[in-house]
Amino acid sequence: MTASDVKEFVEVQKKLMLSDDCTDLSYQLIAKLFNEKKGIDTFKAIKVFGKTIVSYFDLITNVLVFIEFLSRRATIAILQGVSLGFSLVLQIMMSIVIGQPMLAALSGLIGLKPVIEAWRDAKDAKPYPKQN
């Protein structure tokens, strides 16, 4: 529902009701909106925080394993680095395919993508304009 939809609805109601009825309807709509948005969904906040922590824990352990193998087993280090790089590039490609802006997609290269997605999820942000 957009602001123009609400305006159109209110204009129709003004034609059908008395002034006092319109005022009462406005108060009811405001109260309903306030009651629906008044609280924070604690479970959702914990879930978003948990997903972000797990994502960063995974990324950090992958980098640490890469560094550890770099000094001892170059072949395994290369495999680890390639798999990590492939994962980051695939994440960027998928972000672009689903319509996210280039800046959001490229944030995956430096590890900021989980934080950006967690922030958007916690705020109940609308999808990006071109996002499917």
> Residues 65, 78: contact at Cβ < 8 Å?
no
**What is the rounded end-to-end Cα distance, in angstroms, of the chain?**
19
> Residues 58, 91: contact at Cβ < 8 Å?
no
> Residues 112, 52: contact at Cβ < 8 Å?
no
Here the contacts of 5-13 (C-beta below 8 Å, separation 24 or greater) are: none
The pLDDT profile of the chain, 132 residues, written as one tens digit per residue, is 677 777 787 777 777 776 677 677 777 777 777 666 655 667 777 887 888 888 888 888 888 888 888 888 889 889 988 988 898 888 888 888 888 888 888 887 777 777 787 777 777 777 777 776
Q: Read off the pTM.
A: 0.54
Per the listing, tokens 């204009």 go with 11
